[in-house]
Amino acid sequence: MSDQEKITTPPPPEQNSTTEATQEEHSSEPKEVNNPEKTNHMSFSIWPPAQRTRDAVVNRLIETLSTPSVLSNRYGTMPKEEASVAARRIEEDAFATAGSSAAADDDGIQILQVYSKEISKRMLEAVKARNSSASAVADVASQPETANVSSITSEDVTQPDTESY
């Protein structure tokens, strides 16, 4: 083999791709990645959340309301069906409240905080309301029937029944 044949023989495919990459790195054309003008115009917004995210929030609420947790230790658990209805209502109300507080120039972080706080607040209100109504029903059920006893005065007890004589 002559020296000329060695020079004209193309490198193996692995080396060829490396050579092209090296040539691109030394190219005088600007790349999009290194161009700060283009990256400054990129926007990122986290509001409104995707439907998939909202569904995940509802599923987590259902789990929190219907299974043993720190919250259920204090206020009790809800049946799964009741928790599902409550969770959907909580999420929809929180989404509407947060959406109405949106500012035009906001990137969504503040709205997301409002959404999160509304969910927490409404979840606590729901379990407290359920707990107080359940305890009120339990109190009424546990009390003996004494409705007429409270209307009797001390005079009624001390005076003899003269009508029956």
5, with CB counted inside 10 A (0-12, 13-18, 19+), is exposed
80: Cβ contacts below 8 Å, ≥ 6 apart: 62, 66
- pLDDT at residue 131, as a whole number: 85
Q: Are 90 and 123 in contact (CB under 8 A)?
A: yes
- pLDDT at residue 46, as a whole number: 86
The answer to whether domain 51-135 has CATH 1.10.246.200 is yes
List the chain pLDDT tens, one digit each, 165 residues. 555 555 555 555 555 444 444 444 444 444 445 555 555 666 667 889 999 999 999 999 999 999 998 888 999 999 999 999 999 999 999 999 999 887 766 678 899 999 999 999 999 999 999 988 766 655 444 555 544 444 444 454 445 555 544
- pLDDT at residue 109, as a whole number: 87
Structural domain boundaries in the chain: 51-135
Long-range contacts, stretch 30-34, CB < 8 angstroms, 24+ apart: none
